[in-house]
Structure 1
Amino acid sequence: MKKFYVLLIILSLVFVKNTFSQDLLDEFGPDVKTKAFAYATFKTSRIIIGQSIESPAKGNLNFSISHHFGALNDGPYGFYGLDRSTIRIGLEYGITDKLSVGLGRSSLQKTIDGSVKYKIFRQTTDNRMPVSVSYFCDFAINGLHFTHPEWDNHFSSRLSFVHQLLIARKFNNNFSFQITPSLVHKNLVTLNSDPNDIITLGGGGRYKLSQRMSVNAEYHYILASQTRKNYDNSLSLGLDIETGGHVFQFFVTNSQPLFERGFLTETQGTWDKGYIYIGFNIVRTFTIVKPKGFRKS
């Protein structure tokens, strides 16, 4: 399983390097002579509910609120999902321009999650590095009471972990695309037949409609025969609106969880059966440590 995961990552890197060969120098004009990096591949650290290549700059703190209602197939009795909600509140801080850490809390399963994201490579405009690559690691703690408190339960049974390689390219000012292979590990599974390790392969994109608005899409595929039939692949569509220091993301998805382990491996229900959740993200960036150049001005 682990060897397959490593092979999947290598193949993804080779595919991206050989296929995505467009030069971004045209976006900056013919007079550019110094090395420059592509920026704003995506607008926030999440494409919709899944991670993007982006992270807060050094000294910046991102505060996010994610919220979606119940499924549309709740019908009129549940006011088509409006009577229910799932909420996540999160913080992300840039320790350096490459390294960031995050912490969040979700109402679903009373989950606490923490994360680390590190930028390994950045796409350059001279195309010597055609993609940006980041590593993302996440742990989650299930806060629900144990189903059988009389048993000899362990805290480690609450833990799960996610490892992701984020491989993205900004093709031009309007279009960006990302490939996301993921490995999810659960310390405790429901049935003996359930695997502790699950591999998924995701893809997501962004297309700008205007200077401050874009449409996004993402899909995460569970590789065959890893989970029970009642778990489905996650599909989300969204609209980003930027207003100064805020980014509003409106989306529809078939995933109820808003944390990695949940939407990657525990999505239940498909769009065609009415499992459509309407939601939004609000992201606000605060400068905690001002850049040295800013202090001098």
Structure 2
Amino acid sequence: MRDMPLFMRKIIAALAVMLSFSFSAMSQTGAWTGRLKVSGVELELIFNIGEESATLDVPDQGAKEIPVEVSRDAVGGITLNVPAINASFKGLWAGKMIAGTFTQHGMSFPMTLTPGAPVIRRPQTPVGPFPYATEEVSFTNGDAVLKGTLTLPENCGRKTPVLIMVTGSGLQNRDEEVFGHKPFAVIADAFARAGIATLRYDDRGFGESTGDVVFCTTEDLKNDALSGIRLLRERFDNVGVLGHSEGGTIALMLAGEKQVDFAISLAGMIVSGAETLLAQNRQACQAVGLPESEVDAYCRLLSDT
């Protein structure tokens, strides 16, 4: 090595650095999971890291595939920027882990990423083969096009009872999927096995459905469901509605307008939306252990706005 020309030694050294950088970059790809602890609350963060880009999943909050910017240095350092939530993670690769710091809105917390993602087991999710049929259908309400799944039990006919399923607040797919749970798929499966047909659909502006979600109101969402009811009336004599949360309120609205033959409300509001949100915020503050005086002050502030 001592007899080797200087320029050759420089080339070898440069190649070694490049190989080291390439190896560390390859080793940092795939799913990496970290646990963030803030004010007594623990969140699981899963970074799905590629060579040049990545995504972030936060299962505890139902967030998936948040875009992430990736940068690396030559000594195993990696920076993951998440502009959508004003956050970043800076860490150093150490073989079986990436130790570093997660920063959001100027606040920093230690966090260590380990390879792999937890396996989410949802044994209640229906698995085929199924003793019933399904059809993909669509219906419209103004400019909104709603896409859904019609589940038909054996020997289905006009006399078969059918109901449309309406999700709660926020954008959700036809299964009302949250944290890997698919409650509407489970309910549709159980109903089909009991001889009841169902129609569940993606919310407007989500999944395969289109439509405005910025200025729409509960009335608009009720009319989305009503369009689905009219579709069902073409094939069934006994049409009902099942709604959860805000969907439960919509179910009661449709029943009050005599648009359905029966209604099922799961946790639908029977007080005003303002009262409901205030109660939900109070319970959330209490759940993380905030002092009752702070909870009361926060709720008073909300009620005054």
| TM-score class normalised by the smaller sequence | under 0.3
TM-score, length-scaled by structure 1: 0.22
Greater strand proportion: 1
Higher relative contact order (CA 8 A, sep 6+): 1
| TM-score, structure 2 normalization | 0.21
